[in-house]
Structure 1
């Protein structure tokens, strides 16, 4: 029986699944080749090396995150959209910790970069959510960074099981959304 021919997408998807299991920094071409049941040199038919594979995983991850955000935020505004964004972000970071790490570990190569385009979709969704808060134009970048830092912190702490003290993390998550919403409303 002939073995199914490996495609570029197969390699990137397998790499993404692997980083979720072993961690982004633990990914090697040898480990991926072993997972795929091929010899390491065969991977180079599909990617140019580890850095190229990591970049392609980042593009996949940012695209998936963008889809998750878009789908959850659809038809919502204000606090509901903020909550949907936070839920999408937290879901993705905890369900796909290796892929999420790829989203913050790879630099853009320029405006034509696939990663830049995928990231622009995410930024566009966040800007759309923020439009209901009527922020001054100079406050948009600050609001986006504050939201990203807050959601990143919560999601990565939850993914690493760092909420060890008493209290329900779900209540803290809801409190965080209320805190962000009220803060954004006061910045008008």
Structure 2
């Protein structure tokens, strides 16, 4: 019988907090149970083992990332929208590394429609941000890949302490996104 008041959302949020603080590898049933003050077997009433925990973290992270991107980009377009969305993406990676890894880096299980829909929601927001460049087809896909690669690379390097030189990192990031935007202006015909 599930502990009174304990639900799937609480279990997943506890696991997500552990993933953010200690890394995704630190997420175990025993660690989450200890965090919640319950025995490990009771978690099976809410998630399907460790895989269920990681899947829950992925869904939570993707939903939160999409919401952060949407909030940052609303009412903005062009370079302003791109800078706002990329800044929100960067902040999310820094603030929620475990959620980000589970959702945006780790591939979903084949046929997991819920995970695929959550990932697609992030893409839809980014498509909206890129709408100012009037891209379609392959050009839009290339632009989405470039955006994700640029921001993911920068944010993960930054989070790992990869920018050791005493030079403003925010300026470097702004220049990166501005260069990306300039590249989107190129005629792809």
TM-score bracket, normalised by the shorter chain, equals over 0.9
Task: Measure how far apart 1:91 and its partner are.
Answer: 0.7
**Aligned counterparts of 2:38 and 2:127: Cα–Cα separation in 1:** 44
Task: Measure how far apart 1:57 and its partner are.
Answer: 0.7
User: TM-score, normalized by length of structure 2?
Assistant: 0.93
* Aligned residues of 1:55 and 1:106 also touching (Cα < 8 A): no
Q: Which moved more, 1:85-94 or 1:155-164?
A: 155-164
Aligned to 1:15: 15
Aligned to 2:149: 149
* Aligned residues of 2:18 and 2:26 also touching (Cα < 8 A): no
Cα displacement string for residues 134-165 of structure 1 (whole angstroms, at most 9, x for unaligned residues):
23522111111111011000111111121101
Task: Measure how far apart 1:117 and its partner are.
Answer: 1.2
**Aligned counterparts of 1:46 and 1:137: Cα–Cα separation in 2:** 41
Aligned to 2:138: 138
User: TM-score, normalized by length of structure 1?
Assistant: 0.93
**Aligned counterparts of 2:56 and 2:5: Cα–Cα separation in 1:** 20
Aligned length: 185
Aligned to 2:49: 49
Task: Measure how far apart 1:122 and its partner are.
Answer: 0.9
Aligned to 1:124: 124
* Aligned residues of 2:14 and 2:32 also touching (Cα < 8 A): yes
**Aligned counterparts of 1:136 and 1:39: Cα–Cα separation in 2:** 52
> How do 1:73-92 and structure 2 match up within 5 A?
73-92=73-92
Task: Measure how far apart 1:108 and its partner are.
Answer: 4.6
RMSD: 1.4
Spell out structure 1 runs of 4+ moving beyond 6 A. Answer: none
Partner-residue secondary structure (3-state), 1:121 = helix
Partner-residue secondary structure (3-state), 1:167 = coil
Task: Measure how far apart 1:4 and its partner are.
Answer: 5.2
Partner-residue secondary structure (3-state), 1:166 = coil
Partner-residue secondary structure (3-state), 1:186 = coil
Segments of structure 2 that go 5 or more residues without pairing to the other structure are: none
